[in-house]
A and B are shown apart, each in its own frame.
Chain A
Amino acid sequence: MTSEPADLRLQTPSQRIVPYRRPPAGCHPEYLNSAYCATVSRAPKRPLIFLPHTLSEVTGPVYGHDDISENDNDLTHQHADDPLGERIIVAGRVTDENGRPVRNTLIEIWQANAAGRYFHRRDDHCAPLDPNFTGSGRTLTDDDGLYRFVTIKPGAYPWNNHDNAWRPAHVHFSLFGPAFVTRLVTQMYFPGDPLFPFDPIFNSIPDERARRRLIADFDLSTTQAEWALGFRFNIVLRGQEATPFEE
């Protein structure tokens, strides 16, 4: 039997820790990015201290599994009526860097409505709220790491980072994976968005190939005839350096 990362939760102190791979250079943004103004007073200025992985890093919570209800992965069926906007399906697979499916892990999403407005007290964009759209969803990956949401395509919206600044349409994603160090919060973008060249958050990712991984693919096989366009967004979480089985 192969060893899954989850088995580490059962480790006794005498057992060896299998560390997770360190992110390749250029994959994640740097903390300080002067084009994204809010980083200036919030990014640490001193170098981070390298932390070898211990039990504290390779274990992680199993969270949210007990309280997912039926419409949590269908953001178009959480209120009395249908929300306004372009109905879409967002589906994909969560794997680790070693190509293994990440099973039974929580995915949480949140997003603006079709008009580019969040259901949030601090969002003062002069676009309408939609009483039939809150914009939050939750689901678990299945045994193959697959997930699926039905939602509304979010609108672009302005922000005050620089003159005439607009965020490209995006859906926020949050994932846990098997360890505290596999935690990932990211954003999914839509193909062909004309705002990409102007968005400092999207462009904060140094490696262009890595940046492109945040753009979903339009997918005809996910698209449902006469009902909704489908987008495919696969997610890769950190994987362990080498499994005990392989050694």
Chain B
Amino acid sequence: MDPGLTPSQTVGPFFEVGLTGKQSIGRVAGPEAAGERIFLTCRVLDADGVPVEDAMLEIWQADASGNYPSAKNSQRQEHAFRGFGRLGTAEDGRCIFETIKPGRVSGPEKVLQAPHVNLNLFARGLLKHLPTRIYFAGDPANEEDPILGLVPEDRRATLMAQPDPGQSGAWYFEIHLGGDCETVFFDV
């Protein structure tokens, strides 16, 4: 029997009523979580470079050892590592996650993946959400990452968060929905 997959529809402009607001999670790793603490600023721009003020970002990442949270520990534990974050963007298209840099997760053919954060982007005008990944510029593991290897070399930079040289632990990831530097999105 094939029951038939339920189709996707846009999250629309009013998702804050149900999904963000008090259901937001900006702190993906609480103070007790081990690892290198980072503040990951994401900014969403449309094809014309206009900030998207009504997007929702959901992220999912491994802990510093490269393990994804189990069912038991990814719940609302304020102090520990949750692995999941959800924020709406502000007027300037930005939101900031407090987390730790993820470790390396196993990949296809037993090759370890480079540290990355999985991202689902939702917005008015997106009839289905857009999956992408955030990697960390300058990480030597990026060279051998099996997923980055599937991305044409000239577009890999769109998947790199950049460190803020003036602020330790601050990283910046820009998402371009279109235009010359359109971010790579994945068919998952």
Contacts and interface: CB of A to CB of B under 8 A. Distances in A.
Contacts of B142: none
Contact of B127 (A110, A118, A201, A211): A201
Given A49-B185, A95-B3, A120-B16, A59 B68 contact: yes
A49 B5 contact: no
A97 interface: yes
B2 interface: yes
Interface in A164-220: 172, 174, 180-181, 183-187, 201-202, 204-205, 207, 209-211, 213-214
B47 A42 contact: yes
A54 B113 contact: yes
B contact patch SS: loop
A162 interface: no
Interface stretch (B17-25, B35-43, B164-172): B17-25
A70 B187 CA distance: 38
A31 B178 CA distance: 12
A116 B182 CA distance: 36
A30 interface: yes
A138 B68 CA distance: 25
A61 B47 CA distance: 30
Nearest to A185: B11
Contacts of B2: 97
A180 B120 contact: yes
Nearest to B8: A28
A43 B74 CA distance: 31
Given A13-B106, A53-B188, A172-B12, A41 B127 contact: no
B178 A63 contact: no
A176 B5 CA distance: 14
Contacts of A38: 124-125
A42 B179 CA distance: 10
A190 to B, nearest CB: 14
Contact of A41 (B14, B122, B125, B131): B125
A51 interface: yes
Interface in A77-136: 95, 97, 99, 108-112, 118-120, 122-123, 134-136
Interface string A8-43: 011001100100000110011111010010111111
A69 to B, nearest CB: 12
A227 interface: no
B182 A61 contact: no
Given A45-B182, A49-B187, A65-B75, A134 B7 contact: no
B50 interface: yes
Interface string A48-68: 111111111101111111110
B70 to A, nearest CB: 5
A61 B4 contact: no
A42 B125 contact: yes
Contacts of B23: 64, 108
Interface string B87-114: 0000000000000000001111010010
A183 B129 contact: yes
A236 interface: yes
Interface of A: 6, 9-10, 13-14, 17, 23-24, 27-31, 33, 36, 38-46, 48-57, 59-67, 95, 97, 99, 108-112, 118-120, 122-123, 134-138, 172, 174, 180-181, 183-187, 201-202, 204-205, 207, 209-211, 213-214, 234-238
